[in-house]
Structure formats: structure tokens, C-alpha cells
A and B are shown apart, each in its own frame.
Chain A
């Protein structure tokens, strides 16, 4: 007898591809702004779109873990194996926001909240890991105020873009909104 699984094969394939897309976007696309959190624009997009398509708790977390594993294995960033933590944290946060807003991620306001929250939590985990590894607190924490604002803004912009993409996918019939829960 076939055991039921939480994610279907199609969903797992889709989420894994989105996880890979996060990794590829991080590796291939660089925005030379030198402003903290600017990569959030690209980073949150696949996670939010993936969570919106699959519409199950854990979808964002799955994408985060897949992209974190890829980033760790390929040594994309300075933290290596600890990269999983920040990628997963972003996915978990987007999952939580998506659930709180009934998966209405096609709404730009919800997209902004999901993207901004994900990027800010990623920043917090990043600082925490750096402190844990003994990188001097002075230079990590100084600037965290402005950094939190820029993470919010860039993550929010990414979230709005994701919402617009999801809206287009809905209109094209790729994503079905029929089972969107009522807000209450």
C-alpha cells in the first residue's frame, strides 16, 4: 500500500527547483549597490513564489533548506555550513507569514511583509552566527540599525515583485486561487 506523503512528487520537484533558483540567483546575479540586504530582492522571490504555488506549511522552509545546502556545499558565502541556518530561517519566516495571511501572497502588501520579514530574520541569524563564530561584535553590530532598515526595504521590494509575479501566474492559470481561505 502506498504511504501518503506530505508533499507530492510534483511539489518536491517544484520546491527543489525553486531552492536551486535561490542558489543560482545568489551566485549569478550581483547588484553592486554595497548596501546591506540588497540581495534580498532576488533572494525572497523564489521562496515566496514557491510557497504561493504549493500552499502548504513547510514549503518555504523546504526551499530554504535546499538553497542553504547548495550554498554550503558550494562554499558560496563565508559561513559555509552555517549558511543553512540563515537560508532556512528565511524560509521558515516566509512560511509563517504566508500562513498568517492565509496564503494571499499575490497581494503586494502581503508580499512586502513576507519579503521584509524573511530578509530581516536572515539578517538577525547572520549576525547571531557571526557573533557565535567570534567575529568581533563591534564591527558586526555597529550599523545594525541602518542595516535592519535596508533589509526591510530590499526584502519588501522583492516580496512585492514576487506578489506581482504570483498575480500574473494566477491570471495565466498556472496558480489557482480557488482554494484561498477567507480572511477572518
Chain B
């Protein structure tokens, strides 16, 4: 999805503007090539369509709340469907997916939660990739003691059982979406992502242009952030996708177990169903279980599929012979 290698200087005396133009053209070309590869994997496209669908749902919610939906009835947390006589009410024209045992509109909850899932996933992914690329690049650039310390620390992080850590933490401190995203980001950023990005960075560090940058008087910070990190970006985009899957999944599990202090989420919707005792009445009260569970499954697998498709784009060894 991004540039594979730093572009070579094109003109004999390149000005900053012309250089940027060349760089942009090269980026556009490789983007088009990679897009073609991505489309040819098919599974990636399926994932992308699902993600777009949920993105639209998430963006529609505030619009609907301000125009069509009455706040007293359709609020995902404190609303109550006065127009239904029995709660949970089956799907009807005013409530397309029915209402939950507390009389709240399921569709509204679903759309409201979609937004927070996206924010959670995005934040966790950004934190992971920022930490992971920085740690990986620093470990590869300096080597020696720095490398040993960072990588042994990464080993510990990898061995920590994620969900169990989150459960113990939620017993100790109150965990909300923001804290959850940070914790997941830190765990995976210092752990597995750092290890894999470091091994990629090792192959970048030995390239001649790093030597050239050093000869031209570039300091460590300049070399790490201007020359190494951009070359790690394609791979880190891949890990972003897997982190999003992990973050959404962990959130759903924890809120399903009732361990998170969140206002509304897909996991919490199932928790509500369980608390009200409708969990095994799958046939009679399907709208209490299926929309939320399917959303979690679909969104998780779509990010995973996109990640796998990107893997085939980035990793030349997986390409067709």
C-alpha cells in the first residue's frame, strides 16, 4: 500500500519541489500496482467491503439521531421504546432489529457501538505501530545492549497471556475503551510487533542508502525516522490490521464477561442478553444475540482478511509462481 523503497534522486540537480513530484509519481505507481495485487486476492476485497459497510453504519448514527430518530426512544443507552408494549420487542417497522430487554433499540445500539469499535481499533493500532516501528528500528540500528534489552522485554510481552492480563487489570483498575486501547497497543507494540519489525529493520539497516545517509552526516534520530521507519511502514500497516482484530475481539470478550466500564458495545449487548436470561432462547429471541455477535465476527474477520491480502501483496514469496 505504501512505497517499497526510497526513491532514487531523479534529476542531476533536484530541487525540493521536483523531488517531491517524482516521489509522488513513484508512490502513485506502486500504489496502483499493489492495488492490483490486492484486488486479485479477492478475500481482501470481501474484507474491505465489510469494513466499509460498518464504517457507513457508524457514520450514519449521529446523522440519524439528529434527524429521524427521537432521542428519548432511540438513545442507545438511556432510550426507551414507548411505542412497544412488551420488551424485548421483535423487529418492527419503527425498530428494524427490535429492542433489548431494557427497551432500547438494537439497531441504534449496534450503530453507536460500531463507532467506538472503530475508534478503539484505530487507537490500538496506531499505538501498536508507533511503538513497534520505533522499538524495532532502534533495536536494529543500535544493536548490542540496546537490542538485547528491548528484545528480552519483547519476549516477556509476547509470553504474557493477553486476555488474562486484561482481566486482572480490569479487576484492579477501571478499564474503559481508551485505557483498553492503550494497554492492547502497549502489549502488542512492545511485544510481537516489535520483534517482527526489528527483523525487517535489520535488512534495511545494511542497505547502502543508510551508509550514504550516515556519510552525509545524518544523526541516529534522522536516520531512524527518515530512512528506516518509512521502509517499515508497509509491514506495519499489516500489523495494524491484525491489531485492530485483536483489539475489537478483546473488547468484546471483556465486555461480554462484564469486566469493562463502557457505556455501550457489542459485547455489552450480549452481556445484557445473558443477564436478562435470554441467552439460550436463540430461536425465539434471535435479534438479541445475532446482530451483535455477527457484527463482532464480521468486523474481526474483515480486518483479518484485509491483513492477509496485504500480506500477499507485501511478501513476494507468497506470490503466484
Q: Answer yes or no: do A and B interact.
A: no
